[in-house]
Chain A
Amino acid sequence: MMGDRTLELLSAWAIARKELLTQLRYPLQLFTEVAQPLYQFLVPALLLGASFAVAGRAVGLEAMTGTDNLAGYLFLGVIVGGMVGTAFWDMAFSFKREMDVGTLEQTWLSPTRPETFVLGRAISGGLISVGASAVLVLLGMAFFGAEVGEGLWLALPALLLAMASMVGIGYLVASACLMLREPNFFVDATNFLFAMISGVAFPVAVLPWFIKPVAYILPTTYAVDLLRVYALGTRPLLDPALEWVALAVLSAVMIVVGRIVFRRTEHRMRVRGTLGQH
């Protein structure tokens, strides 16, 4: 007899496979995973950076972060930006899509726990995000002059921890999606703010003083910073040892808090009978 946890893990994998199969049916959508960050964020940012270059070097960025590798700085930021997008759109917003097509009640009536659906989508979204990020970084190295050091491998555990924290964030945002019923703007805006405040696009040091404290309680801030410290040799925000501890602790907190909030939201919706309303 398989234990409950094993069964839930198998269910999560089945959900992930289903989501991946659906994605494979739309190759243009997969292409967008790479093309959209490239034209919507990376190219405008690279050209803005080029406007500040002196004799072809990003001297301003170097003064601020310790590296003049503008392309490397931005392309590595996109890796964490992709993870944030996975939590907000693939894990959380998918509940809204199910609400719209009217299948949410049926799936929640199955013996699989609702939170397993979040986990399954985290797996599929994470795999797609990893693939898109790998392609983007390779494109950055091949065509945009991004130089990524071998230290990148040392930062991989930070990315895994960040991905785990994103499952917690996914639970939190999914709860909001279930409660709000029209969460498009909420998800879009909070996804953008979460990524920006984490320092995906610029150094955290330039954030206004009243937003900066928020950056220090987001696990992704430490993930993107450690990634750049190891791969590009940038100056860390804090002592790297402290950053590792902060990342691990915050990731654990996000998962625990996220699950509690999601379970309470689910219970509340079952009691009030609002699951099918949207």
Chain B
Amino acid sequence: MTASLVADLHAFAAAGVKEFRILRRYPTLFLGFLFWPIVLPFSYVLQARGFAGGNAAAEAAFATRAGTADVVGFLFLGFTAYMWISMILWGPGTALRTEQVRGSLEALFLTPASRLVILFGPAFSQIVWALYMFGLVGIAMVFVFGIDIGLVEAIRALVIIAVATPALYGMGALFASVVLRFGEVGALVQTVRGIFTAFCGMTFPIIVLPEWGRAVALALPPTYLIGGLRSALLAGADLVSLIPDMAFLLASGLFLCAAAVVAFRSTERYARRGGSLAQY
């Protein structure tokens, strides 16, 4: 039992290292990791400047709705979360799909490694990229845009990221099951990403949504991640005041991970019976 667990942990680490090595083979991907976390939110900062138009009433309206007058921090945090979520939604599903296209998925399923390794292993390396992205954005916020973020606030943000991780990776793993079942994930990812963009408050305070829209937003884990990060880093909220948000994130994380494991097992059975594992 212990030996099996150790072997699975080794396999888990090996899956993460493999994904990292593949990333290292394509240096232009590194450029993207440097470019998009800064340029994409900055374009929304410029847009916000256009919408504010230097008008004091417009700026005050934003501050009242957002709970902060710090437009730059508000948008950078929202977009960093968005990019992390995008990475997670595409990550595990795309990794399995790539194995399917390369013809190596069957070989992978024949190894004695646990299915959990196959499901969550590729996501492991992405945690490194997520931390890198949050670090890069943090540096830009502090040193380029002059936002005051102390060590305590940074630690609080890291706790929120850690608490949100199971929920987000659970979603990613659910998408991976969809890949095995239907062979294509693009349209579904686009749809879900669209829902997150429209409801979770990446570029706006959710108070501007109509009532039904707010209800949708409050049922989605990314809303709590984004809201928690903004509260901790921009409004100086302590972790105690964020316990209800973190409890929701943890509960949804448990549910989504369990659902992903069940869905993956059921999909695997379906693929084995129908012999569709290598079909795409």
Interface of A with B (CB < 8 Å)? Answer: 28, 32, 35-36, 38-40, 43-45, 47-54, 58-65, 70, 182, 184-186, 188-189, 192-193, 196, 201-203, 205-207
Contacts A45-B47, A48-B47 hold; do A60 and B54 have CB atoms under 8 A apart? yes
Interface string of B190-213 (1 = CB under 8 A from A): 100110011000111100110000
CB within 8 A of A44: which of B29, B35, B65, B198? B198
Question: Are B28 and A43 touching (Cβ within 8 A)?
Answer: no
**Is B52 in the interface zone, CB < 8 Å from A?**
yes
CA distance A64 to B53 in the complex (A): 5
CA distance A180 to B49 in the complex (A): 36
Question: Are A62 and B53 touching (Cβ within 8 A)?
Answer: yes
Question: Are A207 and B61 touching (Cβ within 8 A)?
Answer: no
Question: Are A51 and B194 touching (Cβ within 8 A)?
Answer: no
Q: Which of B38-46, B242-250, B263-271 contacts A (4 or more CB under 8 A)?
A: B38-46
Question: Are B35 and A189 touching (Cβ within 8 A)?
Answer: yes
Query: Would you mind naming 14 contact pairs between A and B with Cβ atoms under 8 Å apart?
Result: A35-B190, A47-B208, A52-B58, A54-B61, A59-B53, A59-B55, A60-B51, A60-B59, A63-B55, A64-B54, A192-B40, A202-B47, A206-B46, A207-B46
Q: Is the interface of A mostly helix, strand, loop or mixed?
A: helix
| B55 nearest in chain A by CB position | A60
Question: Are A60 and B58 touching (Cβ within 8 A)?
Answer: yes
Question: Are A192 and B39 touching (Cβ within 8 A)?
Answer: yes
CB within 8 A of B47: which of A36, A63, A184, A201? A201
CA distance A182 to B32 in the complex (A): 13
Question: Are B204 and A47 touching (Cβ within 8 A)?
Answer: yes
Question: Are B53 and A51 touching (Cβ within 8 A)?
Answer: no
**Is B22 in the interface zone, CB < 8 Å from A?**
no
Min CB distance B89 to A, Å, is: 14
A38 / chain B contacts, CB cutoff of 8 Å: 194
Min CB distance A43 to B, Å, is: 5
Question: Are A36 and B190 touching (Cβ within 8 A)?
Answer: yes
**Is B129 in the interface zone, CB < 8 Å from A?**
no
| B47 nearest in chain A by CB position | A202
CA distance A58 to B51 in the complex (A): 7
Min CB distance A177 to B, Å, is: 13
Question: Are B48 and A52 touching (Cβ within 8 A)?
Answer: yes
**Is B240 in the interface zone, CB < 8 Å from A?**
no
B53 / chain A contacts, CB cutoff of 8 Å: 59-65
Sorted from nearest, which 9 A-B pairs have the closest CB atoms? A39-B194, A60-B53, A60-B58, A64-B53, A202-B50, A63-B53, A47-B204, A44-B203, A185-B28
A64 / chain B contacts, CB cutoff of 8 Å: 50, 53-54
A189 / chain B contacts, CB cutoff of 8 Å: 31-32, 35, 39
B20 / chain A contacts, CB cutoff of 8 Å: none
B57 / chain A contacts, CB cutoff of 8 Å: 54, 59
